[in-house]
Chains A and B, each alone.
Chain A
């Protein structure tokens, strides 16, 4: 919404610089996007001039050399290129030093050898119209040469570009903003422009209006005018429209736009003689019914669209755009001026479905008060009579009438202070509300507030009134900054949140960088990751309206995100950094909402054991014991991959790890990389957040190593399991620390070196204590795994 201050000042003139006013509005709830200057600069250089003589230029056919009076006996010579310049005209003159709306600074010039000391201006050169065919001839005889032009025409004004929030359609008109400025600054507010209505309510308007779709059209107000002369609007009106961002067209259309900008209520002017059958019907469109709108487009409608039809069919899309057939044209002499209210939700739906937004629909879609229709009609009537030489046909069509009587809402003093944390006197609350147009009546505990029509949709409850009072009272120094009493509130991370941080920190401590990937990816990723048809990770959450096919399904594993990031870094010459992500994955099904779980995944240069080392760092940080079993994943190297389970609850799979399958890695142009992913949420439930004390220091442990030779196929985990099973209570720890295959070991066999640590809680163990345990271990290895001691 563009607010020309020159126009605003007709109704409220707070005497503030544009910037100061912008700040005041921003701090009371009306956001100001920009402060602009519209029109010319260096106002002193613009004066009224009188052309004393106009003679042909000696050396140019199209130029005229003019002698122009510019006040107090001063004359100047101006070479003018306009065809319509003539002696005796009163004109607008820019003198050297003047700045035109496009920023051009005017200088003395010589045109074909003749000196020109200024410029006689056309409308567009002043930014007050679009006319450029000739200079603007000022009609008023009362004007004196030399008079400042700015006193005659609004040739320059600051303009505030306002961002009106959707709850305040009343501020989509100059007078509505003036009311807001009045409340924000206490500057006096002039009576509304509709306070005097020259119209009448008795008489027969020569057109019938039938509202069939009353549910979509709360009010329809129309008046008829005869003897209309279609002509350009006067300069002051064009200037205001230009400053407000509207393009002048002709007096009748300009009046509809002027009244819309002033009151916030859009209007539509029909050529009364083009209304077939002199009858308008407000109804729902038929399926696939068509209409050519003012912009020349053919629109295909449906029954959700409300339209205004005449005897020949659709004439206008209600509240959105008029039709070409019945629009005002240069030959129009009889006008039906329509101002109606439409249901905002329906206008919004219609304009978004047709892809057609207009100044009118942007206002209607927010829901205007029915009262505004008659207000706008009153202003339009006055202007039609003043500017178009029109005669008003007595009578007013008014279907639907005004809205409901004002609602009364109680505003309790105690609630004001209780909600805001600062006490505001009842008298102050009353003052703010009255300035905004609310009616107030004092009650014992506060105020009874009558909601005016223009705030009917926005203000319905006490909290809404408190907001009005609060924003005008001020929230800067006027509002203290306190902290809540926080009864019983204790800020603490949950166990899961604390442990999740610990898991992430374990990976950064191990040198990995965290990434944040996209939650959505391309559906084709299922195939790139080689997921089998029945793989649960193909159960994608699918977006119905993605921004692109590449981001149309939600990820079911972090692997794609990790490969994306690794691939980007590799392509940018950053090698293959170790990366991890901690975030959600999404599996469709299982209820109204998909199954989301928090996953932790990493991608590292190197092989499966490099990935495992990082996963073990996480497991150690969380004190979770996991079991690893060779198992395939479609996107992993089949001989170098494992599933990860809880050690004490096999079958509850936590995740996987392994070398990324070379065909998958190749899709991202990556070399050998390995990855893991675990369901972090599940993992954390098994973490030991509060370790219990164990005495490991009173008595030393007894350490012995053994080397056992087994078949290559026997996993180290099986050897350790046998060792632990046989070790009994005295065996504290058992860890594999070396694997050897080679000349000294038979083919198909390998040697595993295992470090054993024996301990007892109550004494220092000796070799004699350990010997029988060790024998049992060796026997068990032989029996269960065909293991033999080496050396």
Chain B
């Protein structure tokens, strides 16, 4: 009897090992372990054996049954895995087809994206963002910024007038004085916004965008201006950039400087279209706030003998065009989607 059990077990194990599909495995299970199969019947017949044979025979039959069940479970797992693999391998999608359904991606306008990029740099440097009216009084736009009564920028050839004492602001600088009226020093603020001048050609549009910067405290220096603009230039144009200050003239700063950034183009044998091979690109005007400007806000805590500061003004269009190689200012205002899609 025990021999028969061994024989059955060996036979079944060989069959299980050789089976190639889940359905066949089920047939084998029925054949060797099913209700009518020989091994279970042998187990049931153990009771009729001689007492000394019952133990070893029952044990052998049980072991054989358990072993076979384990082998079947194991083989079943193997077969299912193999069958899943085969099914998955035959179930293919051309992954080079486009995604479906397409998710449209909208873009911020290049000017907004550039403005936010610059804002974020100055936020990191401790500046807040102030905004002010685009239709502005002559007082804030010119008078309080130390423009002489005869300064040509006041002329009707240069500036849009809405009334004798109201203009479309020609720079975001009027917010210098408005900000100082609103808050005593220390003051660290940038002012992004739309500005207007009566100019129209390939490099000028009557409407453009500026970011004004103003830092006022007891100990702000020209060196601080240089360091701040260096940090800005490196954040926007790359960590290897340098800046240089060139003395210049603006009515509302003293000393006044124009600021160049070292060219960020790869220089080849062809003449560099950005820096014309000078190695430097002008990016903004700036300087130390003129004491005459502080004199207009003295009663708000800005005593020119006690406090000092720097101011700068940059053109968002210019930064965007330089950084992205946009050749013509007017592209920014066409709003052709083929242009818009490239940025933001």
Interface residues of A (CB under 8 A from B): 26-29, 31, 165-168, 344-345, 348-349, 352, 365, 418-422, 461, 463-464, 466-467, 470-471, 475-476, 479-494, 497, 501, 504-505, 507-520, 541-547, 551, 554, 564-565, 568-569, 572, 574, 577-580, 582-584, 586, 592-594, 596
Q: Does B56 contact A (CB under 8 A)?
A: no
The answer to whether B224 touches A514, judged by C-beta atoms less than 8 angstroms apart, is no
**When A and B form their complex, which 3 residue pairs have the shortest distance between CB atoms, in order from nearest?**
A421-B223, A421-B221, A511-B104
Q: Does B215 contact A (CB under 8 A)?
A: yes
A621: min CB distance to chain B, Å: 13
Q: Does B144 contact A (CB under 8 A)?
A: no
The answer to whether A568 touches B123, judged by C-beta atoms less than 8 angstroms apart, is no
Contact residue among A516, A580, A584, A594 (Cβ-Cβ distance under 8 Å from B332): A516
A586: min CB distance to chain B, Å: 6
Q: In terms of DSSP, what is the predominant structure of the interface of chain B?
A: mixed
* Residues in chain B near residue A508, CB distance under 8 A: 105-108, 344
Contact residue among B126, B160, B165 (Cβ-Cβ distance under 8 Å from A486): B126
Contact residue among B134, B137, B149, B337 (Cβ-Cβ distance under 8 Å from A592): B137
A576: min CB distance to chain B, Å: 10
Q: How far is the CA of A493 from the CA of B160 in the complex (A)?
A: 31
CB-CB contacts below 8 Å: B94-123 with A? 103-109, 111-112, 116, 119, 122-123
B261: min CB distance to chain A, Å: 13
Across the interface, name the chain A residue whose C-beta is closest to B140. Answer: A593
The answer to whether A493 touches B220, judged by C-beta atoms less than 8 angstroms apart, is no
The answer to whether B126 touches A476, judged by C-beta atoms less than 8 angstroms apart, is no
Q: How far is the CA of A165 from the CA of B168 in the complex (A)?
A: 25
Across the interface, name the chain A residue whose C-beta is closest to B187. Answer: A489
The answer to whether A543 touches B160, judged by C-beta atoms less than 8 angstroms apart, is yes
- B295-309 interface bits toward A, Cβ cutoff 8 Å, 1 = contact, 0 = none: 000000000000010
User: A486 and B221 in contact (CB under 8 A), knowing A475-B226, A547-B198, A586-B135?
Assistant: no
Q: Does B32 contact A (CB under 8 A)?
A: no
Most buried by A among B104, B106, B224, B256: B106
Q: How far is the CA of A101 from the CA of B151 in the complex (A)?
A: 39
Q: Does B55 contact A (CB under 8 A)?
A: no
Q: How far is the CA of A494 from the CA of B128 in the complex (A)?
A: 8
Contact residue among B105, B109, B135 (Cβ-Cβ distance under 8 Å from A511): B105
User: A545 and B161 in contact (CB under 8 A), knowing A344-B150, A487-B186?
Assistant: yes
Across the interface, name the chain B residue whose C-beta is closest to A348. Answer: B150
- Summed over the interface, the residue pairs from A and B with CB atoms below 8 Å come to a total of 245
Contact residue among A27, A349, A544, A593 (Cβ-Cβ distance under 8 Å from B150): A349
- Provide a sorted-by-A list of 22 A–B residue pairs whose CB atoms are within 8 angstroms: A29-B247, A344-B150, A349-B150, A418-B219, A420-B222, A422-B222, A475-B222, A475-B244, A483-B224, A484-B219, A489-B128, A491-B124, A504-B108, A504-B112, A508-B106, A514-B340, A517-B333, A519-B207, A520-B206, A568-B334, A593-B166, A596-B133
B335: min CB distance to chain A, Å: 4
User: A482 and B337 in contact (CB under 8 A), knowing A463-B288, A501-B116?
Assistant: no
Q: How far is the CA of A520 from the CA of B208 in the complex (A)?
A: 12
Q: Does B125 contact A (CB under 8 A)?
A: yes
Across the interface, name the chain B residue whose C-beta is closest to A347. Answer: B150
Q: Does B72 contact A (CB under 8 A)?
A: no
Across the interface, name the chain B residue whose C-beta is closest to A459. Answer: B254
Contact residue among A467, A484, A545 (Cβ-Cβ distance under 8 Å from B228): A484
Contact residue among B128, B133, B332 (Cβ-Cβ distance under 8 Å from A492): B128
Q: How far is the CA of A476 from the CA of B260 in the complex (A)?
A: 11
User: A515 and B137 in contact (CB under 8 A), knowing A507-B106, A543-B161?
Assistant: no
Q: Does B270 contact A (CB under 8 A)?
A: no
The answer to whether A518 touches B207, judged by C-beta atoms less than 8 angstroms apart, is yes
Most buried by B among A421, A484, A489, A586: A484
Q: How far is the CA of A233 from the CA of B336 in the complex (A)?
A: 61
* Residues in chain B near residue A505, CB distance under 8 A: 108
* Residues in chain A near residue B334, CB distance under 8 A: 568
Q: Does B87 contact A (CB under 8 A)?
A: no
- Given contacts A516-B335, A593-B135, 5 further A-B pairs with CB under 8 A are A166-B249, A475-B244, A481-B223, A484-B228, A490-B126
Across the interface, name the chain B residue whose C-beta is closest to A519. Answer: B207
Q: How far is the CA of A479 from the CA of B224 in the complex (A)?
A: 10
Q: How far is the CA of A520 from the CA of B103 in the complex (A)?
A: 34
User: A481 and B215 in contact (CB under 8 A), knowing A463-B291, A497-B129?
Assistant: no
Contact residue among A476, A484, A513, A569 (Cβ-Cβ distance under 8 Å from B106): A513
Across the interface, name the chain B residue whose C-beta is closest to A562. Answer: B335
Contact residue among B221, B244, B288, B291 (Cβ-Cβ distance under 8 Å from A482): B221
Q: How far is the CA of A31 from the CA of B116 in the complex (A)?
A: 32
Contact residue among A485, A515, A554, A569 (Cβ-Cβ distance under 8 Å from B109): A515
* Residues in chain B near residue A577, CB distance under 8 A: 337
Contact residue among A28, A165, A584 (Cβ-Cβ distance under 8 Å from B194): A584
The answer to whether A541 touches B123, judged by C-beta atoms less than 8 angstroms apart, is no
The answer to whether B112 touches A514, judged by C-beta atoms less than 8 angstroms apart, is yes
Q: How far is the CA of A518 from the CA of B332 in the complex (A)?
A: 11
A61: min CB distance to chain B, Å: 50
Contact residue among A480, A546, A554 (Cβ-Cβ distance under 8 Å from B135): A554
Across the interface, name the chain B residue whose C-beta is closest to A491. Answer: B123
Q: How far is the CA of A577 from the CA of B157 in the complex (A)?
A: 38
B91: min CB distance to chain A, Å: 32
The answer to whether A419 touches B135, judged by C-beta atoms less than 8 angstroms apart, is no
* Residues in chain B near residue A349, CB distance under 8 A: 150
* Residues in chain A near residue B161, CB distance under 8 A: 543-545
The answer to whether A545 touches B227, judged by C-beta atoms less than 8 angstroms apart, is no
Q: Does B162 contact A (CB under 8 A)?
A: yes
A161: min CB distance to chain B, Å: 15
* Residues in chain A near residue B103, CB distance under 8 A: 511
CB-CB contacts below 8 Å: B190-237 with A? 194, 196, 198, 200, 206-207, 215, 217, 219-224, 226-228, 230-231
User: A489 and B188 in contact (CB under 8 A), knowing A484-B228, A543-B162?
Assistant: yes
* Residues in chain B near residue A574, CB distance under 8 A: 336-338
* Residues in chain A near residue B344, CB distance under 8 A: 508, 513-514
B248: min CB distance to chain A, Å: 7
CB-CB contacts below 8 Å: B5-28 with A? none
Q: How far is the CA of A538 from the CA of B116 in the complex (A)?
A: 33
